[in-house]
Structures are given as structure tokens and as C-alpha cells.
Amino acid sequence: MAQQHSSSGNLRPVALIIEDEPSIRFVVSKALQADGWAVHEAETVRQGLIQTGTRRPDLIILDLGLPDEDGLRYLQDLRAWSSVPVIVLSAKDFETDKVAALDAGADDYLTKPFSVKELTARARASQRRRLPQAGPGGSAAGTFNFGTVEVDLISRTVKRQGSDVHLTPIEYRLLITMIANPRKLLTHADLLTAVWGPAYSHNREYLRVYIACLRKKLEENPAEPKHFITEASTGYRLMP
């Protein structure tokens, strides 16, 4: 599951902190929660990989010096199937370590000790970079429009004909995965891996169920979809 519901009903972005030092986990976790994130924690590479699959984070904060394996090893495994933003934390202050982390797929790098304010600012920036470009038909930056649907990618709210539409976290993640790739054919495996994780890449029935939910909530006529298009035996395509 990705976004979780906050008390206001909005979908909070999810951060996963992989760090073995409890005091740093505590400080980073509190700061991110205060900034609107739902936070999960792991202490080892092994726990981190499990939590990445189950929590579906929108951001990963990764320490490089972990007790079971090097954080770089986690990053290399992760990048085989996910492009989720990763901010690396490291006590190491050598140029070569920084270069190795960025080469392995880190998006950003902070050397300990770091300012918590700087970390939360970079966490927010990581999500702005993820937002798709403004959609067709004059969508404002940070929103994506198709048909009578407007998706606000910053507040994570969806309206159809001006009225709020409630999406579950899985429905929302599926929708934004398709919005990030408008008009492009996304295979069943692409979508299943992005939304549920690589262990689910063959569960096509999940997609059938959730695409049907999105059509019911967002299409004018769910029986004749104009936006969530089925490509026979291959996948799906979002037509704005």
C-alpha cells in the first residue's frame, strides 16, 4: 500500500527510513511526520527490502552503513524494479562514496550530521520532481486533467465534474502511474510492478478489478471507456 489516509481524508505520502541508528531514525521520523508524511522504519537492508515491497513508499531515506549489508547493495537491488526517489544519508564524506551512491541510483545525498530542515526540504523536492508535467488541455502545473476529471497531484485529491471522488490508496497509485505515462501502452507487468511490487507482476486479475473501479468512478460511461483503454492481452493505456 502506498499513500495512507490522514485524519483530513487526504492521502499522505509514505516515507521509509532505512537506518540502524535509533536516534537518527527517531529525529528523521518525527520531522517527516510533522511535515505530513506517513513514516515506516527499517534497521537493515533485509528489512528495508521487505518493507519496500509491502509499504510501497513514495520516498526512501537510506543510510549506507547498515549492519547486515552495505546500503549501496539495497540501492542496486531496488533500482532493478523501482524508480522511487532515494535520499542517501551517510557518515562518509568522501567524494567517491557520494559518486558511488549517485551512480547506484540515489537521487540526493546528505552527509551526517545534517540539518533536519534541509532533509525535509529535499524530501518535498523529491516529490515535486516526480510530478508529471502539466497535462493537456491547459492543466495547471501540479494538476492533470482528462475528460471531466481533475487530479491534484499535490493535495492528492480527485474531482469529477467538480465533485470530490474518493479513491482508495491502490486506486490512486494505479491512477498516478498511468498519469505519469499518458497515451503510453503500459503492460500488465509494468502496472503490477509499479503498484503492487515485483512479486505481483503476474496477478493480472488485480488489474482487471482495479481498472474496473477507476472506470466506474472516473469514466462518463464505464461500459464504453474513453480514458482507461484496454489493449487486448497486453496492458492498458490512459488517453487524456
Residues that bind Ca ion (CB under 5 A): 20, 63, 65
The nearest distance, CB 82 to Ca ion, in angstroms, is: 22
For Ca ion, the closer CB: 20 or 190: 20
For Ca ion, the closer CB: 71 or 169: 71
Q: Which residue is nearest to Ca ion (CB)?
A: 65
The nearest distance, CB 34 to Ca ion, in angstroms, is: 23
The nearest distance, CB 27 to Ca ion, in angstroms, is: 14
For Ca ion, the closer CB: 20 or 97: 20
Distance CA 196, CA 199 (A): 8
For Ca ion, the closer CB: 38 or 60: 60
The nearest distance, CB 89 to Ca ion, in angstroms, is: 8
